[in-house]
Amino acid sequence: MQLLLESLFNGVAIGSVLMMAALGLAIVFGLMGVINLAHGELMMLGAYTTYVVQMVFKLPAFQSIYGLYVLVAIPLAFVVSGVVGILLERTVIRRLYGSPLETLLATWGVSLILQQFVRSVPLAHAAGLILALVLGFGLPLVLPHRFFEGARARINRAITWAMSALGGVLLAGVLASQISRIARATSRNVDVTAPKWMRGGIEWMDITFPVPRLVIIVMTIVAVVGVTWFLNRSVWGMRIRAVTQNRSMSDCLGIPTDTVDVLTFGIGSGLAGVAGVAVSLLGSVGPNVGGSYIVGCFMVVVLGGVGNLLGTVLASFAIGLLTDLIGAGRLLTIWPDMPSPLAGTVTFFATTSMAQVLVFALIVVFLQFRPAGLFPQKGRMVEA
C-alpha cells in the first residue's frame, strides 16, 4: 500500500511536468495544426530565466526575500517564453500557414538557433535583449492609441523602440557588472538551487514527499485550472475555441483569427516557460534540456488527441505513471514473487530509457485501436 502510494506520487510528479509542457503544445497544435519543434527550447528559456532570477535575488539588496524568487520566476518565465514565441509566430510560422510539414522544419531551425544562442550569448545580454523586445512590443499596447496615430506616428514608434533598446542595454549592463557568473557566455550546465523552504520533504503515512515535486504538482494544477477557465469562460477563450473548430466560419463571423493565432501561440509558449521553471527545480539546466522532454510531449499529444484538455491531462498522467512503474522497477517491489521469466523481462526494462521503449511500443499498439487518440474530435472533417 505504501509502495503503491509512493509510486503513484512519483508518477503524478513526472506526469505533471510533462503535462505542463504538453499543454501549450496541444493548444497550439489544436488551433493551428502546427507542431512546434522549438517548444523544448522555449522550456529551456524558462529554465534559464529561473536561473537569472535566482542570481539576481542572491544580490545583497534582495537577500532578505531570497526564498520568494521562485514566485517571481514563474510569471517572468511565462513572459519571456511567451514573447519569444510571439516573435517566432510573427516572423516564421505566419508565412507557412497551411503547410504543417514545412513549419515542422522551420521550427527545428529555430530550435537550433536558440540552442546555439544560449551557448554563445552571455545570459545578461540575453536578458537585456528580451527586455527590449518585451518593451518594444508591449508599450504600443499599454500606451494610449492616439500616440501611434497621425503625423507623428512613425516618429513616436521609433522613439518607443529606441527607449526599449536603451532599457535593454541598461539591464544587460547592470546585470553583467553586478553578477559575474552571467556576464560571460558558457555552454556548461548551470544549477538552480531550491530556496530553503523547498528543500527536504513532508512526511505522511511513513512516506516522504519531496517538497519541490509537491510545488510542481501545485503549479500544474494551477496552470490546468487557469487554462481551462480561460478557454471555457473568457471571451478570448471562446474565440480560440471557435477558431479551433472552424477557422473560416469564425473569420466570416468577425473573429480576428490573426490576433487569436498570436494570442494562442503566446500562451502556449508561455506555458512552456512555466514548465521550464519546473524543470529547473528538478535538475541542472543546459542548452539541451528541452530535448529530453519534447518527445514525451509529442507522445502526450498523439495519445491525448487534439482539442481536448482532458485528453492531454489523462495522457500525460498515463505516460508518467507507466514510465515510473516500469522504469524504476516498481513492478518487482509491488509483486516480489513474480515468476522468473516475467521477472527477467521486467528487470530488462527497468531503466528510464528502456521504460520509454516499452511505453512507445504500448502507444503504437494503442493507436491500432484508437487511431485519433483518447478523445477523437467528432465531426465530418475526418480527413482534414
Partner 1 sequence: MNAFQQRRWPLVILWVLIIAAIVAAPSVLPVFRLNLLGRFLALAIVALGIDLIWGFTGLLSLGQGIFFALGGYAAAMYLQLNSSGDLLNGIPEFFTLYGVDRLPAFWQPFHSPWFTLVAIWLIPGLLAGLLGNLVFRNRVKGVYFSILTQAALLVFFNFFNGQQKLINGTNGLKTDVTQLFGQMVGSAEMQRGFFWVTAVMVILMWLLVRWVVRGRFGDVLIAIRDDEPRLRFAGYNPTLFKTLVFAIAGSLAGIGGALYTVQSGIVSPQFMTVPFSIEMVIWVAVGGRGTLVGAILGAVAINYAKSLVSEALPQSWLFIQGGLFILVVTALPEGVIGWFRGEGPRNLMSRLGFSRPIGTYPQLEVDGNDEVQP
Q: Choose, by CB under 8 A, the member of 5, 104, 238, 362 that binds partner 1.
A: 104
Q: Choose, by CB under 8 A, the member of 115, 164, 250, 280 that binds partner 1.
A: 115
Binding of residue 244 to partner 1 (CB under 8 A) = no
Binding of residue 328 to partner 1 (CB under 8 A) = no
Q: Choose, by CB under 8 A, the member of 4, 59, 67, 120 that binds partner 1.
A: 120
By CB under 8 A, which span of 62-70, 126-134, 194-202, 365-373 interacts with partner 1?
365-373
Give dist(CA 287, CA 47) in Å, integer. 10
Binding of residue 356 to partner 1 (CB under 8 A) = yes
Give dist(CA 35, CA 18) in Å, integer. 16
Give dist(CA 120, CA 114) in Å, integer. 10
Query: Which residue has 509491488 as its cell numbers?
Result: 334
Nearest Cα neighbor of 355 from 9, 11, 2, 3 is 11
Q: Which residue, 6 or 261, has its beta carbon nearer to partner 1?
A: 261
Give dist(CA 300, CA 306) in Å, integer. 10
What residues numbered 82-101 form the site for partner 1, per CB under 8 A?
92, 95-96, 100-101
By CB under 8 A, which span of 1-9, 32-40, 61-69, 263-271 interacts with partner 1?
32-40
Binding of residue 341 to partner 1 (CB under 8 A) = no
> Is residue 275 packed enough to be buried (19+ CB in 10 Å), middle (13-18) or exposed (0-12)?
buried
Binding of residue 113 to partner 1 (CB under 8 A) = yes
Give dist(CA 6, CA 210) in Å, integer. 11
Q: Choose, by CB under 8 A, the member of 214, 238, 302, 343 that binds partner 1.
A: 302
Contact 287, 187 (CB under 8 A): yes
What residues numbered 270-299 form the site for partner 1, per CB under 8 A?
291, 295, 298-299
Q: Choose, by CB under 8 A, the member of 162, 202, 249, 357 that binds partner 1.
A: 357
Binding of residue 353 to partner 1 (CB under 8 A) = yes
Q: Which residue, 201 or 344, has its beta carbon nearer to partner 1?
A: 344
The 8-class DSSP code of residue 248 comes to H
Give dist(CA 137, CA 306) in Å, integer. 30
Please report how close the Cβ of residue 84 comes to partner 1 at its closest, in angstroms. Answer: 14
- Fill in the amino acid letter for 142: V
Rg, Å, the chain Cα set: 22
Listed in sequence order, the residues at least 6 apart from 234 whose beta carbon sits closer than 8 Å to its beta carbon are none
Listed in sequence order, the residues at least 6 apart from 162 whose beta carbon sits closer than 8 Å to its beta carbon are none
Query: Which residue has 499543454 as its cell numbers?
Result: 23
Please report how close the Cβ of residue 197 comes to partner 1 at its closest, in angstroms. Answer: 36
Number of residues that bind partner 1 (CB under 8 A): 43
By CB under 8 A, which span of 50-58, 110-118, 145-153, 313-321 interacts with partner 1?
110-118
Cβ neighbours around 284 below 10 Å, total: 14
Please report how close the Cβ of residue 360 comes to partner 1 at its closest, in angstroms. Answer: 4
Backbone torsions φ then ψ of 201, nearest 5 degrees? -150, 170
Binding site for partner 1 (CB under 8 A): 29, 33-35, 92, 95-96, 100-106, 108-113, 115-116, 119-120, 291, 295, 298-299, 301-302, 351, 353-354, 356-357, 360-361, 363-364, 367-368, 371, 383
